[in-house]
Amino acid sequence: MLTYIALGSNIGDKLFYLQQARHKLRNLSTDHILRQSSVYQTSPIDCLDGSPDFLNAVIAIDYAGTAEDLLAQTQLIENQLDRTRFAINSPRTIDVDILCFGDQLLSEKKLELPHPRMHLRRFVIEPLCEIAPDLRIPGLKFTAAEYLCDLKGTQRIELHRKDW
C-alpha cells in the first residue's frame, strides 16, 4: 500500500533522528523508500512556549501490512528513538505520523486516516507537495498542491537540506 509518512524532530540531533526514522521505515517497506522530500526547518505551531524549531520531511513507502500494523511500527520507532510524551505538543526527538495509507478512510480512537489536520499544516503539505503534488487526499476535495496554495505564508518554513 502506498503510504505517506511525515517525520519531525525539534530536540537533540534533529537530522540524525529523521535519518534514523527513515532508515527504520525503509526496512518496513516492500520497496525501500519510494520518494522523500527535502528537509525543511519550520517554526513550531501550537507547541509549548520556547519550543525549538522543527526539522520536517515526508517520505513515501510501500507497506504490505495493515494501517494498524504500521501505526504499531511507527510508535515502536518513536520509542526506539527516545520519544517521550510529557505534555501535548512538547518537544520531541522524533514524530512519525501516517498521513495517507493508500486511499483508506479510517476513524478510530488510535488512528485517523488520512491524518485529520495534514491539509491545515504547511510543515506537512509543503514537503508532501515536493514528492506528490497531485495527490488527492482521500476524503477531501483538493490535491496537496491546491491545499498548499491556501497555506502559503501561514508559517515560517525554509529549506534546510535537499539531500539527507
Q: Are 132 and 41 in contact, with CB atoms under 8 Å apart?
A: no
Q: What is the CATH number of the domain that holds 107?
A: 3.30.70.560
Say how many domains are in the chain. 1
Pull the grid cell for residue 10: 525539534
Q: What is the pLDDT of residues 19-69, one digit of tens each?
A: 999 999 999 998 888 899 999 999 998 888 889 999 999 999 999 999 999
pLDDT tens-digit readout, 109-164: 999 999 999 999 999 999 999 999 999 999 999 999 999 999 987 888 999 999 99
Task: Tell me if 118 sits within 8 A of 124, measured CB to CB.
Answer: yes
Positions marked active-site: 83, 92, 95, 97
Q: Quick one: which of 93, 92, 23 has its CA closest to 61?
A: 23
Residue ranges making up the domain that contains 38: 2-161
